[in-house]
Amino acid sequence: MTPTSLFYIIIAIIIIDFIVDKILDALNAKHYNDPIPEELTDVYDQAEYQKSQDYKTTNYKFGLITSTFSLIVTLAFLGLDGFEFVDTIARSYSDHNIIIALIFFGIIMLGSDLLNTPFSYYKTFVIEERFGFNKTTKATFILDKLKGLLMMAIIGGGLLALIIWFYEVTGTYFWLYAWALVALFSIFTNMFYARLIVPIFNKQTPLEAGELRDKISEYANSVGFNLNKIFVIDGSKRSTKANAYFSGFGSEKRVTLYDTLVNDLEDEEIVAVLAHEVGHYKKKHIIFNLIASLLLTGLTLFILSIFISNPLLSQALGVETPSFHVGLIAFGLLYSPISELTGFVMNHFSRKFEYQADDYAKNTYKSEPLVSSLKKLSKNSLSNLTPHPAYVWVHYSHPTLLERVRNLRRE
């Protein structure tokens, strides 16, 4: 294999991935106007339905523009030996491999972030604004960006520096050490996410004593689930869209409700949503996902260790001095079809788990409040009621609203 043929394989992967993605989007868009299934006719009234149609079309067109732009930039960058250019800049500041890698990734990340910012600005302040979702102020938008970049620099930079150091000290065995590092890190962030990461972006307050809290406790006790940490987060600071999630485990286990969810749903509906989340715990989905992602990370790192020392990877991207950091980028591009494949498989499991969690809520609480909460959440996010099956198969981590309603109402 020559560097040139590897280069063309990379280009082919990028283009095929783009085409497949656009075909799925177009298939999905062709079904926007499908008749609404009978079970879902009460989700929207006429005006809201029209609004949801406009929202879908607007997002479809916007997605087409942004993905085409990013395809062109990526291809131009590869065609013009952009990686060699950035690598040369990084090497002019240091001859230490880890420092070079940090500068290299710093430039790439910052550059791609700068290119993406106008699009995310437009998405937030024009599209989401027009449809009444946006609550983000310009100050929050800028602060979020800065905090995100800073976190990326510290956490991403720290992990990268350690992994390269493992590689330099242990050679091919670096993948075992890197795996242990990533595993410890992901278990740690999983555990302390609510304490360490969330406060950087949001305010969390314990759910005040009262009827809702009593109803939640009553349900949790009835299924023998220890749930005393219930927090409300100020999601309304950024968007009107609502959500609820569990995080942490053991003594750090807590549930977080968006203030928008508390406002939009009735108490019974909130308890039903929590019953669904408790189902994920009781059916061991959380553990399954954590173990599966650790195994996948291990596999990826192992495959990386086989190829990373091959100078062909760097040469394929037109970089003269082979290095770990350029090899990593080439590997990432070549590996993307495999990670798409594992993404499918994980989505497949995820949809199965959603049914199981819904069944758990149905069996230990009630199904109708969950049905009505899912409908309200769909309505409030103007979601698509008639997605194309192929699109669902590839992209959806949850079954469609119709499938969930049918399952919840099945005797």
- Kindly state the smallest distance separating residue 220's Cβ from Zn ion, in Å: 17
Residue 358 among the catalytic residues: yes
Cα–Cα dist 159/153, whole Å: 10
List the Cα angle 311/160/317 in 5-degree steps.
30
Residue closer to Zn ion by CB (options 328, 357) is 357
Beta strand ranges found along 59-182 (DSSP E): none
DSSP state of 245: E
Residue closer to Zn ion by CB (options 272, 316) is 272
Q: What are phi and psi of 265, to 5 degrees?
A: -105, 155
- Kindly state the smallest distance separating residue 354's Cβ from Zn ion, in Å: 5
Which has the closest alpha carbon to 335: 7, 12, 13?
13
Calculate helix-pair angle for 82-93, 46-79, nearest 10 degrees. 70
Sign, CA dihedral 128-134-138-140, equals negative
DSSP state of 255: E
- Kindly state the smallest distance separating residue 277's Cβ from Zn ion, in Å: 7
Sign, CA dihedral 134-137-142-148, equals negative
Please give the torsion angle defined by the CA atoms of residues 214, 374, 343 and 124, in that order, rounded to the nearest 10 degrees.
-100
Residue 340 and residue 21 in contact, taking contact as beta carbons nearer than 8 Å: no
Active-site residue, from 264, 277, 320, 368: 277
Q: Which two tokens stand for residue 97?
A: 């491999």
Instruction: Identify residues 333-392 at the interface with Zn ion (CB under 5 A).
Output: 354, 357
- Kindly state the smallest distance separating residue 302's Cβ from Zn ion, in Å: 31
- Kindly state the smallest distance separating residue 285's Cβ from Zn ion, in Å: 8
Residue 230 and residue 257 in contact, taking contact as beta carbons nearer than 8 Å: yes
Number of other CB atoms surrounding residue 206 within 10 Å: 12
Residue closer to Zn ion by CB (options 281, 331) is 281
Residue 200 and residue 147 in contact, taking contact as beta carbons nearer than 8 Å: yes
Residues in the chain: 411
Residue 336 and residue 343 in contact, taking contact as beta carbons nearer than 8 Å: no
* Three-class DSSP category at 265: coil
Residue 214 among the catalytic residues: no
- Kindly state the smallest distance separating residue 228's Cβ from Zn ion, in Å: 22
Q: Is 35 exposed, middle or buried (0-12, 13-18, 19+ CB in 10 A)?
A: exposed
Residue closer to Zn ion by CB (options 268, 354) is 354
- Kindly state the smallest distance separating residue 276's Cβ from Zn ion, in Å: 6
Residue closer to Zn ion by CB (options 67, 293) is 293
Cα–Cα dist 217/227, whole Å: 7
Calculate helix-pair angle for 324-364, 401-409, nearest 10 degrees. 30
Query: Roughly how many angstroms between the first and final C-alpha of the chain, as a whole number?
Result: 59
Cα–Cα dist 218/213, whole Å: 9
- Kindly state the smallest distance separating residue 388's Cβ from Zn ion, in Å: 22
Binding residues for Zn ion, rule: CB under 5 A, are: 354, 357
Active site residues: 277, 358
